[in-house]
Amino acid sequence: MNKKWEFYNQEQDKVNKLVEKFKISELLATVLVNRNIVENEDVELFLNPTRNDFHDPYLMPDMKSAVQRIINAINNNEKTIIYGDYDVDGITSITVLSKFLKERGLNVESYIPNRLDEGYGLNKTAIKKIADEGFKLIITVDCGISGTEEVEYAYNLGMEVIVTDHHEPLDELPKALAVIDCKRKDSKYPFNSLAGVGVAFKLIQAIGLELKIDEKEYLKYLDIVAIGTISDIVPLVDENRVIAKLGLKLVEVTRSPGVRALLNVAGYKEVNSNTVSFGIAPRINACGRMGHEREALNLFLTENIVEANRITNILNEYNKDRQNIEKRIFEEVVAKIESEHLDKKNSIVLGAENWHHGVIGIVASKITELYFKPSILVCFEGNDGKGSGRSIPGFDLHAALCATSDYLEKYGGHEMAVGLSLKRNKFEDFRKVFEEKAEESHTEEIIPVIKIDKEIELKDLSLENVKSLNLLEPFGESNKTPIFIYRNLRIDSIRALSEGKHLKLTLKDKNTIINAIGFNMGQYSEEYQLGDKIDVIGVLEINAFNGMECVQINMKDIRRSY
Point out the domain boundary residue: 395, 410, 445: 445
Point out the domain boundary residue: 206, 222, 238: 222
Residue 210: the pLDDT is: 97
Q: Are residues 65 and 209 both part of a single domain?
A: yes
Q: Are residues 94 and 205 both part of a single domain?
A: yes
Q: pLDDT tens digit string along 2-33?
A: 889 999 998 999 999 999 999 999 999 999 99
Q: What are phi and psi of 303, to 5 degrees?
A: -110, 5
Q: Are residues 433 and 465 both part of a single domain?
A: no
Mean pLDDT value of segment 112-137:
90
What Cα–Cα distance (Å) separates residue 476 from each residue in 165, 247, 273, 328, 367?
21, 15, 7, 29, 21
Mean pLDDT value of segment 506-535:
94
pLDDT > 90? residue 358: no
Q: Model pTM?
A: 0.89
Residue 253 lies in a domain: no
Q: Are residues 70 and 170 both part of a single domain?
A: yes
pLDDT > 80? residue 140: yes
Residue 340: the pLDDT is: 92
pLDDT > 80? residue 56: yes
Q: Are residues 425 and 547 both part of a single domain?
A: no
Residue 386: the pLDDT is: 92
Encode 213-241 in three state secondary structure.
CCCHHHHCCHHHHHHHHHHCCCCCCHHHH
Q: Are residues 210 and 162 both part of a single domain?
A: yes
Residue 334 lies in a domain: no
Provide the Cα torsion 389, 483, 240, 220; round to 10°: 110
Q: Are residues 217 and 107 both part of a single domain?
A: yes
Q: What is the count of structural domains for the chain?
A: 3
In 3-state terms, what secondary structure has residue 363?
helix
The domain that holds 510 is classified in CATH as: 2.40.50.460
Domain of residue 81 covers 57-222
Strands 533-545 and 548-560: antiparallel
pLDDT > 90? residue 469: yes
Residue 92 lies in a domain: yes
Residue 1: the pLDDT is: 67
Q: Are residues 433 and 536 both part of a single domain?
A: no
CA distance 311 to 560: 50
Point out the domain boundary residue: 200, 222, 244: 222
Q: Are residues 427 and 467 both part of a single domain?
A: no
Mean pLDDT value of segment 204-216:
97
Residue 93 lies in a domain: yes
Q: Are residues 64 and 30 both part of a single domain?
A: no
Lowest mean pLDDT: which of 45-59, 108-122, 169-183?
108-122
